[in-house]
Amino acid sequence: MPTLDTVFLVDLIDHKPAALAKLVDLEGAGAPLAITPINALELFKGAYASESVDYNLREVQAILERVTELPLNEESYDMFGRIAAHLRMQGKPIGDFDEVIAAITLCNDGAIITRDEHFSRVPDLTVISY
């Protein structure tokens, strides 16, 4: 079950053609879709910081109703520590939130839908661009 990154979700809310086309492909393949608690937090933050709060909150709720939220648990805590330490030792961290998203993703399907290239720095994470 691929994880939908926040940038992909925002692009869906903004009706960006590339994101909409990727969603059609994913749904056509019957792929169940997932997000992490971090993605949900980022979506709510963006909605409340926007000029169209009510509209964006409705969009966020619609997304949450259609996806599975992956768990943040002890396995993902451990994976986060490994990823964060590895990336910092290489001098290439991607930020705590994205490292947590990567950790949760790796503890589940291991594939993330994003246009953020920095996720490719995470070992063993499959990055699916659009």
b/e map of 3-12 (b: 16 or more CB within 10 Å)? bbbbbbbbbb
What pLDDT, in 10s, does the model give residues 18-38?
999 999 999 999 989 999 999
CATH topology of domain 3-128: Rossmann fold (3.40.50)
E-assigned strand segments in the chain? 3-4, 34-35, 68-69, 111-113, 126-128
pLDDT in tens, 74-116: 999 999 999 999 999 999 999 999 999 999 999 998 899 999 9
